[in-house]
Amino acid sequence: MNLDLMDVKSNHSAPVLADPAPMNNTRLGIHSSLYSPPGVVFSHGLYLTIPRKKTNTLDDFRSSSWLDAMKSSSPTHRKITKDSGTDLVSTDADVAYRNWMLKYPSALASFEQITNYAKGKRIALFLDYDGTLSTIVDNPDCAFMSNPMRATVRNLAKYFPTAIISGRSRDKVYEFVGLTELYYAGSHGMDIIGPVRPMSNDPPNCIRSTDNQGKEVNLFQPASEFLPMIDEQVFRSLVEITKDINGAKVENNKFCVSVHYRNVDEQVAVIQAPETISVAVLFKSVHDILKDYPRLRLTHGRKVLEVRPVLDWDKGKAVEFLLESLATSIDAGLSNCDDVLPIYIGDDRTDEDAFKVLRVGNRGYGILVSSAPKESNALYSLRDPSEPSGEGILLYRRDPGSTSGGSEMLVLLMAHFGDLALYSDRILGSSVRMVELR
Ligand SMILES: O=P(O)(O)OC[C@H]1O[C@H](O[C@H]2O[C@H](CO)[C@@H](O)[C@H](O)[C@H]2O)[C@H](O)[C@@H](O)[C@@H]1O
């Protein structure tokens, strides 16, 4: 559900904030139990599991972590409650989620802590795309971003340097987001368009280029040598071997390739005849192809296998690269700014590399978008990009030209994401809390 203006105005209930964890201050104002979990209970029964009795040649695949990864790669709260069909399990799921939130408190509930720490600092915002700015859908070509979300990101970018870091190709994610004022990193950070940095700082594979608007930018493609192999050989081979697997889809993400199995029949019921399990066949086929390409590796995303170069580069490295670019670029507005607070919001395993980078030395905040408990290097959580909600929290800056509070510019940084928008204070409903960023 997208909240329109009427929804916001008519929702007069106080913000329904998730159970706040007791907070002790650390440098980032983070609950100390984040570093030593307070007996968090994970209900493994919430996840579907597959029997591991060996029966034939596909056993290695069934009994390895591959199928487990498949089953847990996209657990959704909705699916758990729907599939189980009982209120009891639904309650268990809620309890497990609340317990999990002791370790990963809601970013909404912790918003004052975040903004307190942000005072006096320049925020740099990094956003994943799928599952963060758009909801997960069956067809990857239709993972559109809502207009309110787009408007919010556009407005955020007026205040904070903002970058999208996606596993998609850079062109594709730009096509979805469509905002020229952002920086974009595609192929899990292996294809970055960022602000121009002084030549002396340029690593190899970094060149000056122009973006779609003719603006001078830096183009950094650390995996450029892999392009012919991935594009001309691997992508084609993967398309060929999966063409008879109903529902499989291969997506060319330029420096990596995604093999989707969200729509492939998992056939868990016929586990005794594993040769009919299409997903297992798919995994084996992809694995077999990769034997011929030792310089490529396989990672798991949400119902997707991702083929990528063996390269010491990931979303975390991309965040570091962009932070350095932003800090040295006059255009980006972070130069001469000692204190930058990076915030990264993402939902998937590949986002963990970025969370890790921010976690080290309490450098910034990682926020995991997840509706199911899972281990993460993030510090905070949000439940779902599209969860219906009337709550919102505003991060705002006073308009320097303003003489009255009535004309303050208000920027909604994080509500439940599907409902993000820019509002003026005149139209805010009482369900929105405001936190001033000085
Ligand atoms: O880093 P991201 O921007 O999150 O990209 C990761 C992968 O996202 C896409 O796949 C996922 O979203 C699809 C659309 O909702 C869904 O159908 C699929 O099951 C998910 O895995 C994208 O299609 C992949 O290429 C990206 O690698």
Q: Whose CA is nearest to atom 27 of ligand 1?
A: 167
What's the CA-to-centroid distance between 302 and ligand 1, angstroms?
A: 7
What local confidence, expressed as pLDDT, does residue 67 receive? Answer: 39
What's the CA-to-centroid distance between 349 and ligand 1, angstroms?
A: 11
Q: Is 352 in the pocket of ligand 1 (CB under 6 A)?
A: no
Taking 70 as the pLDDT cut, the residues of the chain under it are: 1-90, 199, 201, 267-277, 330-333, 335-338, 386-438
Helix and strand totals (H; E) in the chain: 13, 16
> What class is the 225-309 domain?
alpha beta
Are the C-beta atoms of residues 279 and 67 closer than 8 Å to each other? yes
What local confidence, expressed as pLDDT, does residue 88 receive? Answer: 52
Q: Whose CA is nearest to atom 23 of ligand 1?
A: 140
Are the C-beta atoms of residues 188 and 208 closer than 8 Å to each other? no
What's the CA-to-centroid distance between 130 and ligand 1, angstroms?
A: 5
Are the C-beta atoms of residues 114 and 345 closer than 8 Å to each other? no
As for the ipTM of the complex, it is 0.99
Q: Is 303 in the pocket of ligand 1 (CB under 6 A)?
A: yes
pTM of the predicted protein model: 0.74
The mean predicted confidence, pLDDT, of the chain is: 72
Locate the ligand 1 atom nearest the alpha carbon of residue 188 and give its number: 1
Q: Which of 366, 369, 349 is nearest to 28 (CA)?
A: 366
**Cβ contacts of 421 within 8 Å, gap of 6 or more:** 3, 148, 151, 152, 412
Q: Is 105 in the pocket of ligand 1 (CB under 6 A)?
A: no
Domain with CATH 3.30.70.1020 in the chain: 225-309
Q: Is 166 in the pocket of ligand 1 (CB under 6 A)?
A: yes
Name the residue of 71, 73, 164, 304 to mutate for ligand 1: max ligand atoms within 8 A of Cβ.
304
Q: Is the Cα torsion angle 6, 115, 358, 32 positive or negative in sign? A: negative
What's the CA-to-centroid distance between 175 and ligand 1, angstroms?
A: 14
Q: What is the DSSP string of 269-305?
A: GGTTSGGG-HHHHHHHHHHHHHHT-TTEEEEEETTEE
What's the CA-to-centroid distance between 375 and ligand 1, angstroms?
A: 20
What's the CA-to-centroid distance between 271 and ligand 1, angstroms?
A: 27
What are the tens digits of pLDDT across the range 191-240?
999 988 776 767 888 898 998 888 889 999 999 999 999 999 999 999 99
Q: Whose CA is nearest to atom 10 of ligand 1?
A: 140
Helix (H) or strand (E) holding 183: strand 183-186
Name the residue of 130, 263, 386 to mutate for ligand 1: max ligand atoms within 8 A of Cβ.
130
Q: Quick check: helix, strand or coil at residue 120?
A: coil
d(CA 94, CA 99): 9
Q: Is 168 in the pocket of ligand 1 (CB under 6 A)?
A: yes
What's the CA-to-centroid distance between 140 and ligand 1, angstroms?
A: 6
Q: Whose CA is nearest to atom 14 of ligand 1?
A: 140
d(CA 344, CA 331): 21
Q: Is 143 in the pocket of ligand 1 (CB under 6 A)?
A: yes
Q: Whose CA is nearest to atom 15 of ligand 1?
A: 136
What's the CA-to-centroid distance between 161 and ligand 1, angstroms?
A: 24
Long-range contacts formed by 249-254: CB under 8 A, 24+ apart: 249/140, 251/140, 251/168, 252/169, 253/167, 253/168, 253/169, 253/172, 253/186, 253/187, 254/169, 254/170, 254/171, 254/186, 254/187, 254/190, 254/191, 254/227, 254/230
First to last CA, the chain: 32
What's the CA-to-centroid distance between 75 and ligand 1, angstroms?
A: 14
Q: Whose CA is nearest to atom 20 of ligand 1?
A: 302
Q: Which of 354, 409, 402 is nearest to 376 (CA)?
A: 354
What local confidence, expressed as pLDDT, does residue 421 receive? Answer: 35
Q: Is 167 in the pocket of ligand 1 (CB under 6 A)?
A: yes
Six-digit token string for 146: 């809502």
Name the residue of 132, 261, 302 to mutate for ligand 1: max ligand atoms within 8 A of Cβ.
302
What are the tens digits of pLDDT across the range 46-86?
222 222 233 333 333 333 344 344 444 444 444 444 444 44
Locate the ligand 1 atom nearest the alpha carbon of residue 136 and give its number: 15
**Cβ contacts of 213 within 8 Å, gap of 6 or more:** 180
Q: Is 364 in the pocket of ligand 1 (CB under 6 A)?
A: no
What local confidence, expressed as pLDDT, does residue 410 receive? Answer: 34
Domain with CATH 3.40.50.1000 in the chain: 104-191+328-436
Neighbours of 283 (CB within 10 A): 25
Q: Whose CA is nearest to atom 13 of ligand 1?
A: 140
Locate the ligand 1 atom nearest the alpha carbon of residue 260 and give its number: 19
Q: Is 262 in the pocket of ligand 1 (CB under 6 A)?
A: yes
Q: So what's the architecture of 104-191+328-436 in CATH?
A: 3-Layer(aba) Sandwich (3.40)
